[in-house]
Amino acid sequence: MRERSSRFSGDHTVKTRMTTELSNPLALIAELTHRCPLHCVYCSNPLEMQSRANELSTETWSRVFKEAAQAGVLQADFTGGEPLARTDILELVRAARAAGLYVNLITSGLPMDEAKLAALVEAGLDHVQLSFQGAREEIANEISGARSHEQKLRVLEWLKQHRIAVTLNFVIHRRNIDQLEEMLAIAESSNATRVEFANVQYYGWAFANRENLLPTREQLNHSVEILKRAQERLKGKIRIQFVVPDYYAKYPKPCMGGWGRKLLLITPSGDALPCHAAQVIPGLAFENVRDKSLREIWEHSPAFQKFRGEAWMQEPCKTCDRRDQDFGGCRCQALLLAGDAAATDPVCSLAPLRPKVDAILAGMNSAPRAEIFVKPNWLYRPNPS
């Protein structure tokens, strides 16, 4: 189970004029597997997933971690699918730690038990990011297509026994955004020092389920009030981050902190991507870590060069004062909504295609409530073999 988090969006923004000078990657997003016990309707994995047979070996990942550290990477984010589905997860944690990387496990908490958690901490795990589908069993089961909520609450209790950093990630949308108070109560009963309330981003499976996930404007406004109050009340105790749904924003998020600027993602089979969804962009060829070193890929891969810097930009981004803050938004969203990956992200209020996004929101917000709050026929993410 994997969904986008703000760690991969606005968090890494640097408010300096963009230059063509190439900096080191800061974080490596290691998609260890696409296998997962959950079937989340907003998963950011591609619609075509990799099977177990194509996954990189322990040895190759270990080499990649060394190369990453040599290239300047500070942190490895283990994600998937569900990274715990890898039977060599302890070896992978040890290898990343031995390479000198800060190791973050982004997990659904399944399959996990007390002994496994203790072994992961012993192996050198620095941080756990536990994701929730809601505050109650019923909605969590509906969204993940599996029984998972009680297990997550158990994992939260086990985490209290370890000296390890904990972040909770609540992925929010129309069906669970009204449970924020209960989600906050879960966070307050845990030892998490950071909680993300991340609205679904519309790529992968979320794009396919978009019309049933978008919150209403009324829900969004109410959620902002609740979270602002919570930020004030919990200041100094829990850091609360809130990612608004792109479609309602005035300006787009700086996706990945800018294409090929800070982050790189390795798929289960070893392809190096500038972002999670880059494979939707036609004409991009991705290098594989089985064939080339990470530094070589970072510096020379045509896919990483394609939207690096400003030369590729069209108007209005090309001359916009905000281009060094949001880098023109998200290339994959531009492709999905405008049919052109080099277009200004259509969620931007200055984009020529913003009316398309406004029409999607207007259609949804004017529909009868009884219609938009009925339980939908979800398109669930399957589990690859």
Residues found near ligand SF4 in the complex (CB under 6 A): 251-252, 316-317, 320, 322-323, 326, 328-329, 344-345, 348, 350
Contacts of 378 (CB under 8 A, 6+ apart): 41, 142, 143, 145, 209, 212
Tokens of 349: 């209020």
Looking at beta carbons only, is 117 or 353 nearer to ligand SF4?
Answer: 353
Rounded to the nearest 10 degrees, what angle do helices 137-144 and 149-159 cross at? 110
Q: Residues 230-269: x/- map of binding to ligand FES (CB under 6 A)?
A: -------------------------xx--x----------
Give me the least distance between CB of 334 and ligand SF4, in Å please: 9
Give me the least distance between CB of 335 and ligand FES, in Å please: 8
β-strand pairing of 239-243 with 194-199: parallel
Task: Choose from ligand FES, ligand SF4, none: what does 255 bind? Cβ within 5-8 Å by kind.
Answer: ligand FES
Cβ atoms of 243 and 198 within 8 Å: the answer is yes
Give me the least distance between CB of 304 and ligand FES, in Å please: 12
Residue 277 within binding range of ligand FES, rule CB under 6 A: yes
C-alpha torsion 147→150→155→161, nearest 10:
-170
Comparing C-alpha atoms, which of 277, 292, 288, 286 is closest to residue 246?
277
Rounded to the nearest 10 degrees, what angle do helices 331-338 and 354-365 cross at? 70
Looking at beta carbons only, is 27 or 330 nearer to ligand FES?
Answer: 330
Looking at beta carbons only, is 65 or 247 nearer to ligand FES?
Answer: 247
Give me the least distance between CB of 188 and ligand SF4, in Å please: 36
Task: Choose from ligand FES, ligand SF4, none: what does 308 bind? Cβ within 5-8 Å by kind.
Answer: none
Of 128, 186, 230, 275, which one interacts with ligand FES (CB under 6 A)? 275
Distance CA 281, CA 333 (A): 10
